[in-house]
């Protein structure tokens, strides 16, 4: 489970960086709080931060559920969850960079975060059913 905790900490640090980027963009582009719109690049930073928050709501529970349930079946759940978490973090970085540069190019980064979460959710369901039987 240590690897899962490490990956979760890295994902939260990444989210904190995205949140700080919103503040820096707010200052750079003169978008005063509490405004949520203004300069298009500021809005892109804000969307990266908001979408990452939305994806974290899937990722973190999925990561821990899969690690726990798969570990209980000796399926190397923690290792698989940590590896999928690394893919998720790389995908989020790609998503952020792509979205700020050109929003229409965000697809690959988004898929690299959506699919690991979905795989872990589906894997958790399979593992729990296996544990119940």
**Separation of alpha carbons 66 and 130, rounded Å:** 13
> Which pLDDT belongs to residue 26?
96
- Let me know if domain 2-132 sits in CATH 3.30.70.100: no
Q: Could you read off the pLDDT of 29-62 as tens digits, one per residue?
A: 999 999 999 999 999 999 999 999 999 999 999 9
Q: Could you read off the pLDDT of 59-98 as tens digits, one per residue?
A: 999 999 999 999 999 999 999 999 999 999 999 999 999 9
- How is the chain split into domains, by residue range? 2-132
């Amino acid at each position: 489970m240590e690897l899962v905790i490490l990956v979760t900490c890295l994902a939260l640090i990444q989210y904190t960086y995205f949140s700080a980027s919103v503040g820096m963009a707010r200052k750079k582009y003169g978008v005063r709080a509490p405004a949520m719109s203004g300069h298009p690049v500021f809005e892109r930073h804000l969307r990266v931060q908001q979408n990452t928050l939305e994806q974290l709501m899937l990722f973190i529970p999925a990561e821990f559920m899969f690690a726990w349930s798969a570990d209980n079946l000796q399926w190397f759940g923690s290792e698989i969850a940590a590896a999928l978490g690394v893919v998720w973090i790389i995908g989020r970085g790609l998503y952020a960079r792509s979205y700020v540069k050109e929003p229409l190019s965000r697809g690959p980064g988004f898929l690299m975060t959506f699919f690991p979460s979905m795989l872990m959710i589906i894997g958790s369901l399979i593992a729990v059913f296996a544990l119940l039987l």
